[in-house]
């Protein structure tokens, strides 16, 4: 099974990603992309998507990017997120990249974009450490 | 209106927190606590609560703790989360504390505990920066 | 050898800490404290201690606190620092605490205070992950 | 005065950067590079450069990159660093990039490389928030 099919199969077994409606766009060695169609339920009271939704997508991007190198059984050790602009629009897009890798730990970066009326706006940046459970 | 009532009213106007079922336990100057009853939809494929759910609760704890000092209109500038153990059980509990405060920015810390069969286990630590929109 | 004596002996074999003049105040299971007398060489151009000096002290506090649990051979996996106020005065004081611990990784928090004319001011907060090389 | 000359003049007024011997390589709108020749005094006891030296160079890269957009009077609000490999060799090289910018805050990323026998090794990644004091 290629990595994209494997990633798709993991995604389908993750209830929280199904609850939100996270879609896998791309998955190759060290790089992945996800899409999340936005619904009214994802917002906070000031008209922006809740930071937790953005963080969820970032966490996916970091772990799947690292998982393409470390194997499918991974846990997030830690990550940080910088929010650049309020997120709103039709969908969020997240891209994750594995930047460095040891035997058990990988470091990854990710970006989240909001798609609104055909424009992509960078709304958040992430950086984190992922642990592989095998090996 | 006291701060707890104000915090409760903000929470009720946040669709994503309503979607998950986040409950406000306490809210005073610089310190807040939330509870999130866990459902099967919140998990990932390895049997732990998805990091995005934990991050959502942390983000709430950080922003409401800072908001008790900066006013109710706040935005998360950034935060980081360290995951200590897989989260599972009946509920998550989050405590947030404002640690320092300038005119527009506050720094806060938060902890997330998993409640399982009467035991509290520390599952995540957060630290972040919150901006007040007024002032 | 008790942990404080071990920590002192590690400190003395660290050239960068000797260059700055870092002093060990306390070291016990999961908690340590350091002191750094401030010199003019530690400042930046706006009259505050350079963030790198504060980060150095924080890194020491995090790693020695974790090292008290994981053994003396540790490496910093990552950390984050929030700067609360410009640091200035006679000395910096750093306190580190190990908060959680697995077999190979520990999570620690730290605070840095500036001492000026008898007053302690909290100037920075840190949170990070430390890896033990043995075990 | 162009930005590189301005950055050079700020660097020369920063005692801690002079103490270490930090050199400015490049400085343009949103991107900077620094070089730090390594000396024995910069190491810790396991034969790697102390994390505080790496963090100092990262802090410079983040603040000067952001400062190219926000003006020369900036303060680091926060940053995080992931250490990928032990740093050793003849010199460290740091590159900083401003990624997003509001009126008062900018978000920047940075990388630190170790130069050893003609090879560059990525040793650390940073991400942080910088505040401009003017405007």
Question: Are A51 and B56 a contacting pair at CB < 8 A?
Answer: yes
The per-residue pLDDT for D102 is 86
Residue B100 pLDDT greater than 90, yes or no: yes
Residue A70 pLDDT greater than 90, yes or no: yes
Provide the pLDDT confidence category of residue A135 given band limits of 50, 70 and 90. low
Q: Which residues contact B72 (CB under 8 A, 6 or more apart)?
A: B6, B7, B10
Residue of C62, C81, C130 to mutate, interface with D, max D Cβ within 10 Å: C81
Residue D135 pLDDT greater than 60, yes or no: no
> How far off is chain D from B105, nearest CA to CA, in Å?
9
Residue D1 pLDDT greater than 70, yes or no: no
Phi/psi of residue B14, nearest 5 degrees = -110, 100
Residue A130 is inside which H or E element, if any? strand A119-132
Q: Please identify among residues 46-65 of chain A the ones whose CB lies closer than 8 Å to any CB of chain C.
A: none
The per-residue pLDDT for D57 is 98
Instruction: Residue D61: name the closest of D104, D90, D27 by CA.
Output: D27
Instruction: Residue B110: name the closest of C63, A52, A15 by CA.
Output: A52
Q: Please identify among residues 91-110 of chain C the ones whose CB lies closer than 8 Å to any CB of chain B.
A: 99-100, 102, 107, 109
Residues in D closer than 8 angstroms to A127, CB to CB, are 80, 82, 109, 125, 127
Residue B8 pLDDT greater than 80, yes or no: yes
Q: What's the whole-number average pLDDT of chain A?
A: 96
Measured CA to CA, the distance from residue D122 to residue D117 in angstroms comes to 14
Tokens of A98: 């594995």
A38, A89 Cβ separation under 8 angstroms? yes
Instruction: Residue C99: name the closest of C90, C87, C91, C108 by CA.
Output: C108
Residue of B105, B125, B126, B135 to mutate, interface with D, max D Cβ within 10 Å: B105
Percent of chain D with pLDDT over 70: 99
Measured CA to CA, the distance from residue A114 to residue C28 in angstroms comes to 48
D39-98 pLDDT, tens digit each: 999 999 999 999 999 999 999 999 999 999 998 899 999 999 999 999 999 999 999 999
Measured CA to CA, the distance from residue A30 to residue A8 in angstroms comes to 15
Residues in D closer than 8 angstroms to A84, CB to CB, are 99-100, 102, 107
Q: Which strands sit side by side in the sheet containing B23-28, from one edge to the other?
A: A23-28, A31-37, A91-101, A105-116, A119-132, A74-83, B74-83, B119-132, B105-116, B91-101, B31-37, B23-28
Which of B78, B104, B131 is facing D78, going by the closest CB pair? B78
Compute the average pLDDT of residues A93-113.
Answer: 96
3-state secondary structure C74-118: EEEEEEEEEECCCCCCCEEEEEEEEEEECCCEEEEEEEEEEEECC
Residue B95 pLDDT greater than 60, yes or no: yes
Set out the domains of chain B in order of their start, with CATH numbers.
Answer: 3-132 (3.10.129.10)
Bridge partners, D133 (sequence order) = none
Question: Are C81 and D80 a contacting pair at CB < 8 A?
Answer: yes
Compute the average pLDDT of residues D104-114.
Answer: 97
Residue A49 pLDDT greater than 80, yes or no: yes
Q: Is B85 on the interface with C (CB under 8 A)?
A: yes
The per-residue pLDDT for A134 is 74
A71, A132 Cβ separation under 8 angstroms? yes
- Report CA-CA distances (Å) from B33 to A44, A62, B7, C100: 18, 28, 11, 21
Tell me how long chain D is.
135
Compute the average pLDDT of residues B61-75.
Answer: 94
Other C-beta atoms within 10 Å of D133: how many?
12
Provide the pLDDT confidence category of residue B1 given band limits of 50, 70 and 90. low
The per-residue pLDDT for C72 is 82
Measured CA to CA, the distance from residue A23 to residue A17 in angstroms comes to 8
The per-residue pLDDT for A102 is 86
Residue D83 is inside which H or E element, if any? strand D74-83
Instruction: Residue B27: name the closest of B51, B2, B48 by CA.
Output: B2
Concatenate the DSSP letters of all residues of D18-74 into one string: HHHT-EEEEEETTEEEEEEE--GGGB-TTSSB-HHHHHHHHHHHHHHHHHHHH-S-E
Q: What's the whole-number average pLDDT of chain D?
A: 96
> What is the count of residue pairs from A and D with beta carbons less than 8 Å apart?
41
The per-residue pLDDT for A46 is 93
Provide the pLDDT confidence category of residue A1 given band limits of 50, 70 and 90. low
Tokens of A55: 């963080």
For chain A, the first-to-last Cα distance in angstroms comes to: 20
The per-residue pLDDT for B72 is 82
Write out residues in chain C with pLDDT < 50, as ranges.
none
């Amino acid at each position: 099974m290629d990595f994209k099919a494997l990633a798709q199969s993991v995604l389908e077994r993750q209830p929280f990603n199904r609850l939100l409606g996270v879609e896998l766009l791309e998955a190759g060695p060290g790089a992945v992309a996800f899409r999340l169609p936005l619904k009214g339920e994802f917002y906070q009271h000031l008209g922006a998507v809740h930071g937790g939704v953005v963080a969820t997508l970032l966490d996916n991007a970091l772990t799947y990017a690292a998982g393409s190198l470390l194997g499918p059984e991974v846990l997030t050790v830690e990550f940080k997120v910088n929010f650049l602009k309020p997120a709103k629009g039709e969908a969020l897009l997240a891209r994750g990249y594995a930047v460095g890798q040891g035997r058990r730990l990988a470091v990854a970066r990710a970006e989240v974009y909001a798609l609104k009326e055909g424009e992509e706006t960078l709304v958040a940046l992430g950086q984190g450490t992922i642990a592989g459970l095998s090996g």
